[in-house]
Structure 1
Amino acid sequence: MRTSIATVCLSGTLEQKLAASADAGFDGVEIFEPDLIVSPHTPEQIRDLAHELGLTLDLYQPLRDMEGVTEDEFESNLRRAEAKFRLMNRLGIDTVLMCSNVATATIDDDLLVVDQLRRIGDRAAAHGVRVAYEALAWGRYVNDYEHVNWLVEAADHPQVGQCLDSFHILSRNWALEPLGRMRGEKIFFVQLADAPLLTLDVLSWSRHHRVFPGEGQFDLAAFMGQLVRTGYDGPVSLEIFNDTFRQSDPFRTAIDGMRSLTWLQDRATRWLASRPAPLVSHLELATLPTPAEPTGFNFVEVRSDVSHRLRDVLTQLGFEERGQHRSKPVELWQQGDARIIVNEVESAVGEPSVAALGFDVAEPPASVARALSLHASPVPRQQEEGEEELHGVRAPDSSEVFFSGVDTHGSPAWAGEFARGARSARADDLITGIDHVNLAQPWQHFDEAVLFYESVLGLHPQPTLEVAAPMGLVRSQAMRTQDGEVRLALNLAPIAGAMLEPAIHPQHVAFACKDIMALAEQASARGLEFLPIPQNYYDDLAARFPLEEAVLQDLQRLNLLYDRDEHGEFLHFYTEAVGQVFLEVVERRGGYEGYGAANTPVRLAAQHRRRDRAA
C-alpha cells in the first residue's frame, strides 16, 4: 500500500514537513496550498526537493466552492482552476482535491453539477490533471459520499473521480457497505482521519480534533476493509487537522502517523479475514505478528537520586530487599509478585520517576519484533555474559517498556542476577502484585501514547474521564488487557498547570492487596506517612454510602478512601510522594473493576496542598 501524508498534519516549514515525511518512511505527500504559498522556494524547487527525498507529490489541495453556481461565477471558477492546474504542472502533481461547495453554491441541481464537473474535467485534461471530488460533511448541497459517487458516475469523465475522506463519512455516521460496491477506478484518492466521538458541530470537530488512526473512536478497520473490496490501488493518505500536532516536533508526529497506518493495515487485514468475500484489491496491506496480551507486570523500575526515601516507603509497606544487581547500580524489592527495581542513577527530570515497565509475555522476541514493526525505538541495554537478555523499546513519554517471561514458579530469569535472587510469594504477603500503573503524559504526546500501548501491547482503551484538579481538568485514559491482569492509566495534566507546576499529576504505582486494613495498620506502625484526606471527604462518604460508623471511623483514622459500584467495593490509600512518584495500595472486593475515579479530585487536591506546604 502506498502511504502518504498531508503537510497540514505537521508543524514547521514546507521543507521541514517534507523531510519529516521522508524520514518516517512515507511514500508521498499531499501539498496543502497554504504551505506552498508561504514557502520562499519555487514550485520547481519543491518538486526537486521531494524527488531528492524519495517522495512523490500525490495531491494538491484544495479547490473550493467551484460547482453549483451561476454560469458567470462558474466561468470565473474555471479560470481560477486553470491557474492551479498550471501550478500543479510545475510541481509535478497530477491530482487535485476539489471539495464540495460550502460557501457559494446557490443552485441545488444535480444535473447542473454533473455538467460543471464535465467542464472542469475538460479543462483538467488539457493539463494532464485529474480532479478528485470530495463530499465535505458540511457541504451546502453535497455532503454525502454516495451522492458524490452518483455525480461522478453520471459525469462519466476520465479526469473526474472521487476523493474519500474517512472523517467526512464516519462523522456523519454514513453506512460503509455502499463503499465496498464502488468502482475502484473512479476513486482517485483516499484520506484517513480518526477522531474522538464528540458532540460538536462537524466543522469545529474536523478542524481541531482529528487524530491519527487508532487514536480516536472511528471504525477505520471497516472503512479500510470496504475500500479494499473496491479494487482501489492509489495512495492512502493521512489528513489530520489537530492543534496539538501543529505545535509538536514534525519528525516525531510523522513517525506516529506511520505507526498508525501500519496498525490500521493490520486491523483491516483481520477485519477482512473475519468477513470472507470476493476481493479485487490491488492494495497490499501490511500485517503484524499477532499481539500476545501481557499476562502481568514483570517489574516496575523507579529511577531515583533520593533512593533512601523510596527504600523507606517500600520497607514500611512490607517489601523485602533482594539485594543489588551483580553488574548494575539497581536493587530489587519484592512482596508477593510485585517487583520494584530501584535505580540509583540520577533521574533525567531531576527527581524520582517511573523509568521502565516490564511485562510478562509468552514470547518476548515476538513482542519486541511487533513493537519494532510499529516504529518503536529499541532500548540499548548493556548485558554482561550470563545475564538474561531483556528486550525493550521506548514509550512516547521516554520511559522504557520491556518484555520478559517467567518460569513455572512465576519468577523471571533475570531475578537470579540479584544478590538474594527472587522469592516465591508467601502466605503473609499482604501485597500480592501490581494492580495498575498511572503515568503522566506530556501534553503533546498523549494521543501517541494511547496508540502506542494499544498497538504494541494490545491493551484496550476504556472510556476517557476528566477529573478536577486545583490547576484545571486532568484527562485520564485507562487501558487494560481483557482479563484486567494489566492495567495502565495515562493522564494528561492541564497544559498551563503543568507549566506552572511540573508535578501537578505525578506518576504512581498501585499495589494489589488482600487485606488493606491490616496492611495500613502495619505500615502506620512502621511510620508510613499517608497522604492526608480531609474530614469533608468522610462526611460526604457517609452521605453517599450506608457505611457502618465503625467502618467509617477506621477509614478516616487510616486515611483510606472508598468507592462502590454494582459489582463490588474498592478501598485504597496513597503514600506521600517521593519526587514525582507516589505509591498506592488497593483492595478490590467482589467484581469492582474501576480505579476509584470519584476519589481522584480528593487525591489531587491533597497532593497540591502538600506541595504548597513543602515549597
Structure 2
Amino acid sequence: MRTSIATVCLSGTLEDKLRACAAAGFDGVEIFEQDLVVSPSSPEEIRALASSLGLTLDLYQPFRDFEGVSEDLLEQNLRRAEAKFRLMQRLGIDTMLVCSNVATATIDDDAVAASQLRSMGTLAARYGIRLAYEALAWGRYVSDFEHAWRIVELADHPNVGTCLDSFHILSRRWDPAAIEKMPAEKIFFVQLADAPELSMDVLSWSRHYRVFPGEGAFDLVTFMGHLVRSGYNGPVSLEIFNDVFRQAAEERTAVDAMRSLIRLAERTSLHLAEEGNGKGRMELATLPGVGEPLGFSFAEVKAGDPVQVRNLLHQLGFTCQGSHRTKAVELWTQNGVRMIINGQQATGLEPGISAIGLDVPDAAAAASRALQLKATPVSRRSQANEEVLQVVAAPDGTEIILCQATEGEPAWSAEFGTGSPLPAPGPVTAIDHVNLSQPWQHFDEAVLFYDSTLGLSTRPSVEVPSPMGLVRSQVMRSSDGAVRIALNIAPPVFDDAGDGSGYPQHVAFACTDLISVARTAAARGLEFLPVPGNYYEDLDARFGLDPEFLSTLRELNLLYDRDGDGEFLHFYTSTVGNVFFEVLERRPFYEGYGAPNAPVRLASQFLTSGTARS
C-alpha cells in the first residue's frame, strides 16, 4: 500500500512538513495549496526537496467551485485551472483534486457538469494532468460519491476520474459497497479520515474534528475492504482537518499518522482474510501477531525522595523485598503484586508513575510489533548478568516494559537483594488498573498507541466534573480485564504547563477485603483522602444502606457504588508528588470504576492540595 498524507494535516512550514513526513516513513504527500502559497520556496525547490527526501508529490489540492456554472464563469474557471496546471508541472505533480461546487453552481444538470469537466479534462491533458473529481458532503448539487461517479462516467474523458474520501462518504452514511462497482483505473485518488460521532453540521465536523484512522468511530476497515476488492492500487492518503493536530509538533503528528495507516492495513488484511474474498492488487503489510498482555508485571514510581512512597506502600501492606544489586531501585511486593520505586537520575524529582511492566506471551515479538508501529525504543542500563528488558515509550513518555510471561517470579526479580522476609499472604491480590494523565493534544494518539501496539480495546469514554472543569476518561483494557489502563485528559488549568499533564496519576490495587485493608492502613497511620459527610448522606438516599455498614464507610473514608452486577468499595490515599494509590474491592462481578464517586475524589483532592492543582 502506497502511503501518502496531505500537508494540511500538520503544523509548521511546508518544508518542515515534508521532512516530518519523510522521517515518519510516508511514500508521498499531497500539497495543500495554501501551504505552497505561503512558502518562500519556489515550486522547483519544493520539488527538489521532496525528491531528496524520497517523497513523491501525489496530488495538488483543492481546486474548488468549477462545474455547474454559466458559460462566462466557465471561461474564467478554465483560465484559473490552466494556471494551476502550469504550476503543477513545475512541481512535478500529475493529479489535481477537483471538489464538487459548493458556492457558484447555478445549474443543477449532470450533463452540463459532465460537459464542463470534459472541457477541463481536455485542457488538463495538454499538460499531462489528471483530474480527480470529489463529491464534498456539503456540495451544492453533488454531495454523494456515486453521483460524482455518474458525472465522471458522463464526462467520458481519460483524464477525468474520481477521488474517494472516506469522510465525505461515511459522514453522510453512504454505503461504500458501491466502490467495488467502479473501474479501478477511474479511481484516481483515495483520501482517508476518521472522526468521532458528533451531532453538528457536516462542514464544521469536517473542518475541525477529523482524526486519524482508528481514533474515531468510522468503519474504515470495511471501507478499505471495498477499496481493495475494487482493484485500486494507487496512493492511500490521509486528509485530516483537526485544530489540535495543527498545533502539535509536526514530527510527532506524522508518526501518529503513519501508525494509524499501518494499523489500518493490518486490520483490513485480517478482515479480508476472514471474508475469504479479498483479492486485489493492493499489498497490505502485516505485523507480528502477538497475544494480549496477560497482566501487570509491576508498576514503577520514580522519586527523588522515596520516603513518602515507601510509607504509603508499607501502610497498604507491602513489604520491601530488597534493593537492586547495581541500581538505586527498590522492589516492594504483596501476594505477588510488585511495585518498583526508582531513584535513578531522580534528584529533586517529585514522585510520579514512570513505567508499567506488562506480562506478554512473547516479549520479543511484542517489541518488534511496537517498533514497526513507530513506537520509540527506550534503552535501560543493564549489566552483563542482568535481564535485558524490551522497553518502548508511550506517547506521554511512560515507559512500557514488555516482560516475558513466566510461571512464578519473573527472571528480573532475582536481581534484587534479600530484604525483609516474605510476609504472610495479604488481602491485596493484583494491580487492578493504572490511571495515566494525558496532555490534551495527544489524547487520541495515546488511545491509538495502546490499541495498536498492545491490542487493548477501548471502552466508552466518560466525562467527570471537577472543580476546574471536565475530566475525560477513556479505559483501555484486555478482553479478560487482566490489564486495564485508564487514560485521563484533564482541563489545561490543572497545571502550569497548560496541557493537563500535571493531573495526578495513580495505581489501583484489587483486594479481597477492603475494610480489613483500610483498618490495617489506618492503624499504620495512612492519610486517607477525606470524603465529605454530604457524600454519605447522598449515598444513603440512593442505596438505603445498612446503618452499621454506612457508619463503617464514613469512619474509614470509604466510597461505594452498586450496579446490576454487584458492589464496588474503594478508598484513595493522599497524593504525594504526582501520584496516589487506590485500593478497591469488586463484589462479585462489578466491572466499572466507581465513576459516580470520581467527582468526590476530584473535589477532595482539589481542596486538600496546597497548590489547588490536583
Q: TM bucket by the smaller chain?
A: over 0.9
Could you say if the C-alpha distance between residues 206 and 278 of structure 1 is closer, same or farther in structure 2, counting changes exceeding 3 Å? closer
> 1:72-87, aligned counterparts within 5 Å?
72-87=72-87
Q: How far off its partner does 1:525 sit?
A: 0.7
Q: Can you list the C-alpha shifts for 1:304-355, whole angstroms capped at 9, x where unaligned?
A: 1121000001000000110001111100001123210000135499311111
Q: Distance in 1 between matches of 2:201 and 2:489?
A: 25
Q: Can you list the C-alpha shifts for 1:550-587, whole angstroms capped at 9, x where unaligned?
A: 11111111111111111111111000011000000011
Could you say if the C-alpha distance between residues 83 and 349 of structure 1 is closer, same or farther in structure 2, counting changes exceeding 3 Å? farther
Residue 553 of structure 2 aligns to which amino acid in structure 1?
L
Further displaced range: 113-122 or 266-275: 113-122
Could you say if the C-alpha distance between residues 500 and 234 of structure 1 is closer, same or farther in structure 2, counting changes exceeding 3 Å? closer
Aligned to 1:353: 352
Q: Distance in 2 between matches of 1:55 and 1:364?
A: 34
Aligned to 1:551: 549
State yes or no: 1:163 paired with 2:147: no
> 1:177-326, aligned counterparts within 5 Å?
177-277=177-277, 279=279, 281-326=280-325
TM value normalised by structure 1: 0.97
Q: How far off its partner does 1:265 sit?
A: 0.5
Q: Distance in 1 between matches of 2:181 and 2:426?
A: 61
Q: Distance in 2 between matches of 1:140 and 1:421?
A: 75
Q: Distance in 1 between matches of 2:528 and 2:423?
A: 25
Partners of 2:319 and 2:420 within 8 A in 1: no
State yes or no: 1:458 paired with 2:450: no
Aligned to 1:594: 592
Further displaced range: 339-348 or 584-593: 339-348
Q: How far off its partner does 1:161 sit?
A: 0.7
Q: Distance in 2 between matches of 1:26 and 1:407?
A: 38
Q: Distance in 2 between matches of 1:414 and 1:467?
A: 39
Could you say if the C-alpha distance between residues 347 and 241 of structure 1 is closer, same or farther in structure 2, counting changes exceeding 3 Å? farther
Aligned to 2:433: 436
Partners of 2:215 and 2:445 within 8 A in 1: yes
Q: Can you list the C-alpha shifts for 1:526-562, whole angstroms capped at 9, x where unaligned?
A: 1000000111111111121121111111111111111
Partners of 1:415 and 1:422 within 8 A in 2: no
TM value normalised by structure 2: 0.97
Residue 570 of structure 2 aligns to which amino acid in structure 1?
H
Could you say if the C-alpha distance between residues 612 and 500 of structure 1 is closer, same or farther in structure 2, counting changes exceeding 3 Å? farther
Residue 447 of structure 1 aligns to which amino acid in structure 2?
D
Q: Can you list the C-alpha shifts for 1:353-384, whole angstroms capped at 9, x where unaligned?
A: 11110101111101001001101111112221
- Runs of 5+ in structure 2 lacking a partner? none
Aligned to 1:577: 575
Q: CA RMSD in A?
A: 1.7
Partners of 2:502 and 2:578 within 8 A in 1: no
Further displaced range: 314-323 or 442-451: 442-451
Could you say if the C-alpha distance between residues 287 and 71 of structure 1 is closer, same or farther in structure 2, counting changes exceeding 3 Å? same
Residue 607 of structure 1 aligns to which amino acid in structure 2?
Q
Could you say if the C-alpha distance between residues 178 and 352 of structure 1 is closer, same or farther in structure 2, counting changes exceeding 3 Å? same
State yes or no: 1:512 paired with 2:510: yes
Q: How far off its partner does 1:503 sit?
A: 7.0
Q: How far off its partner does 1:390 sit?
A: 1.1
Q: Can you list the C-alpha shifts for 1:385-417, whole angstroms capped at 9, x where unaligned?
A: 2222211111101110011124323x2111111
Q: How far off its partner does 1:240 sit?
A: 0.7
Residue 531 of structure 1 aligns to which amino acid in structure 2?
L
Q: Percent identity?
A: 61
Q: Can you list the C-alpha shifts for 1:426-454, whole angstroms capped at 9, x where unaligned?
A: 5x311001000000011221111100000
State yes or no: 1:401 paired with 2:405: no
Further displaced range: 191-200 or 431-440: 191-200
Residue 331 of structure 1 aligns to which amino acid in structure 2?
E
Residue 504 of structure 2 aligns to which amino acid in structure 1?
P
Q: Distance in 2 between matches of 1:506 and 1:533?
A: 18
SS at match of 1:274: helix
Q: How far off its partner does 1:421 sit?
A: 8.2
Q: Can you list the C-alpha shifts for 1:155-193, whole angstroms capped at 9, x where unaligned?
A: 221111111111111111111221223211111011111
Q: Can you list the C-alpha shifts for 1:219-251, whole angstroms capped at 9, x where unaligned?
A: 111111111111111111111111111111101
Could you say if the C-alpha distance between residues 77 and 347 of structure 1 is closer, same or farther in structure 2, counting changes exceeding 3 Å? farther
Residue 207 of structure 1 aligns to which amino acid in structure 2?
R
Could you say if the C-alpha distance between residues 344 and 262 of structure 1 is closer, same or farther in structure 2, counting changes exceeding 3 Å? same
Could you say if the C-alpha distance between residues 184 and 348 of structure 1 is closer, same or farther in structure 2, counting changes exceeding 3 Å? farther
Aligned to 1:88: 88
Q: How far off its partner does 1:425 sit?
A: 9.2
Residue 59 of structure 1 aligns to which amino acid in structure 2?
L
Q: Distance in 2 between matches of 1:16 and 1:422?
A: 55
Aligned to 2:383: 384
Partners of 1:406 and 1:413 within 8 A in 2: no
> 1:49-128, aligned counterparts within 5 Å?
49-128=49-128
SS at match of 2:495: helix
Q: How far off its partner does 1:212 sit?
A: 0.9
Partners of 2:210 and 2:242 within 8 A in 1: yes
> Which of the numbers 531, 553, 559 marks the counterpart of 1:561?
559
Residue 580 of structure 2 aligns to which amino acid in structure 1?
F
SS at match of 1:50: helix
Q: How far off its partner does 1:612 sit?
A: 3.6
Residue 444 of structure 2 aligns to which amino acid in structure 1?
D
Could you say if the C-alpha distance between residues 471 and 347 of structure 1 is closer, same or farther in structure 2, counting changes exceeding 3 Å? farther
Aligned to 1:473: 470
Aligned to 1:142: 142
Q: Can you list the C-alpha shifts for 1:267-292, whole angstroms capped at 9, x where unaligned?
A: 1100100111262x221111011131
SS at match of 2:85: helix
Further displaced range: 400-409 or 302-311: 400-409
Partners of 1:505 and 1:604 within 8 A in 2: no
State yes or no: 1:342 paired with 2:344: no
Partners of 1:415 and 1:421 within 8 A in 2: no
Could you say if the C-alpha distance between residues 421 and 456 of structure 1 is closer, same or farther in structure 2, counting changes exceeding 3 Å? farther
Q: Distance in 1 between matches of 2:266 and 2:353?
A: 31
SS at match of 1:285: coil
Q: Distance in 2 between matches of 1:500 and 1:262?
A: 32
Could you say if the C-alpha distance between residues 40 and 300 of structure 1 is closer, same or farther in structure 2, counting changes exceeding 3 Å? same
Q: Distance in 1 between matches of 2:524 and 2:204?
A: 55
Aligned to 1:521: 519
Q: How far off its partner does 1:614 sit?
A: 8.0
Aligned to 1:415: 413
Q: Distance in 1 between matches of 2:590 and 2:420?
A: 31
Partners of 1:302 and 1:352 within 8 A in 2: yes
- Runs of 5+ in structure 1 lacking a partner? none
Could you say if the C-alpha distance between residues 145 and 318 of structure 1 is closer, same or farther in structure 2, counting changes exceeding 3 Å? same
